[in-house]
Amino acid sequence: MIALDHIAIWSRNLYRTTIDLSRLTGIGSADGGYFPGLGLGQKIISLGGGVYLEIESIVDHSMIAEGHPIAREVERRTAGGDCFAGLCLRSDDLAEIEAFAVHRGVEVAAEIAGGKELMVPRQKRGKAAHAPDFLHSWLLGRPNVYLVESLDHHSSVIATQPGTGDVVGLGVTSLELGGTEAGLRAWLGDLHPDALGVDLVFNGRADGLYAVGFDSTAGPQTIRLAPLPL
């Protein structure tokens, strides 16, 4: 069964965006390491309930000079500011992901493109099978699904860096999405969005993620950004 896993945010400045979000929410951050083959670094802010924000920014600018498509896409898409890049689901059942891949007409990717170097010991390593390819899905404003067999070393449970925030996220409660419910159901096929256990609000605008609502020890909160398909 699927669940909400993480929400990717693209930023021009990894530190500024992370600091701003921690100040906004009161929730501390952790270092998620970087993807050598993509040139992207990441910070993690847990929203609770096994869900986290994955803030990404270019940290290896040689990837832009070399024309790497991901780095150039991040540079282009963040020219106007931070944006929600992707909505990422998870399943602990590889057969479920394989069936979803067949529905989408793609192959299951065996690992995360670019590999991953970690800053935090025992954090999950970047070899999660997934479908479809994240960039393909995100540019369409649609979710992809990762294989996550256990939350024991999940990014959502990494200890925050001391002093970055004292508020604790208690779980996502709502998502504001573009498009329609029928459109999302058509994309997911046999995967049911009801299984996410959050309120889904469809604004009828371009596909993508517009806002995430969550509970916290400081009360209900909402983060609102522009969606990736600009």
Residue ranges of domains in the chain: 3-227
pLDDT tens per residue across span 154-193: 999 999 999 999 999 999 999 999 999 999 999 999 999 9
C-beta separation of 32 from 123 below 8 A: yes
Sign of CA dihedral 143, 147, 148, 154: negative
- Considering the chain, what is the average pLDDT of its residues? 93
Beta strands in the chain (DSSP E): 3-10, 30-35, 40-48, 51-58, 83-91, 130-131, 144-147, 169-177, 199-202, 209-216, 221-224, 226-227
Quote the CATH superfamily of domain 3-227: 2,3-Dihydroxybiphenyl 1,2-Dioxygenase, domain 1 (3.10.180.10)
Q: Please count the residues of the chain.
A: 230
Query: If pLDDT is split at 50, 70 and 90, which confidence band does 229 have?
Result: low
Sign of CA dihedral 37, 43, 49, 51: negative
